Amino acid sequence: MHIQKTLIYFHGYGSDRQSRKFLNLQSAMKEVEMIAFERTPDTNFKDYMNIAFTAVANTQEVIVVGDSAGANFAYQLREMRQTHGLKTILVLTSPLLNYTNQLRVPVPITDNLQNALVVISQISDALLLLAKNDEVLDFSQYDIYNQPNTVVVYVDDNHQLERFEAYIGYIKAYIGEHNPH
């Protein structure tokens, strides 16, 4: 019996559901149903997360991918699913883990968005795709290599991961190795 995989994508700050990374994933993983969650500065984030959770509450094979600020929401969705005993494959690219002390440069994030972001001090069971030349986020305060069951891939790129398409192989391999079934 074939079980349909569903990938939920949370775009980064200043992007949208037509983000290059989401379109690259769609192109490379045609066998996977994909949903990109749109948000605006005025989004009610409690509702936003509940809608995302409900969209895949009855789906067994869920992959959650988040980029930058979207990685924070991807992490939150995975935690919501875990609370309900639902397995989730988590992929975070250039993740915003802590808005208060991780930014290298000022980013004009609204109070509404800032209040919706959680502080993530430890990541477990995930793939982290990090740019060696990230000009926006500082990962020096994190013991990235001592996160439980987490695969860390440092790529020679910037925060935007301009060569994202070249990294999809890492994502596909991780998904294949961590398939819940």
> Is 34 a member of any domain?
yes
Please report where in the chains the tokens 């001090």 appear, as a residue. 121
Number of domains in the chain: 1
| 50 lies in some domain | yes
**Does residue 137 lie in a domain region?**
yes
In a domain, 1, yes or no: no
Whether the CA torsion 75, 81, 83, 85 is positive or negative: it is negative
At 168, which amino acid appears? Answer: I
Residue-wise pLDDT tens digits, 70-116: 999 999 999 999 999 999 999 999 999 998 888 888 888 889 989 99
pLDDT at position 176: 93
pTM of the model: 0.93
Domain coverage including residue 60:
6-178
Residue type, 49: M
Whether 167 is in a domain gets the answer: yes
Return the pLDDT at 144: 76
Q: What is the DSSP letter of 83?
A: H
Phi and psi of 145, rounded to 5°?
-80, -5
- CATH classification of the domain holding 102: 3.40.50.1820
Contact indicator for 88, 62 with CB cutoff of 8 Å: yes
* Backbone torsion region of residue 69, taken as left when φ is above 0, otherwise alpha when ψ lies between -120 and 50, otherwise beta: alpha
Would you say the C-alpha torsion 43, 49, 54, 59 has a positive or negative sign? positive
* Six token digits for residue 128: 């982290």
Q: Per residue in 139-163, is it b (16+ CB within 10 Å) or e — as a string?
A: beebeeeebeebbbeebebebbbee
Give the tens place of pLDDT for each residue, 6-58: 999 998 876 656 789 999 999 999 999 999 988 887 889 999 999 999 999 99
DSSP states along 84-152: TT--EEEEEES----TTT-BSS-----HHHHHHPPP-----SEEEEEEEE-SSB--TTS-GGGSTTEEE
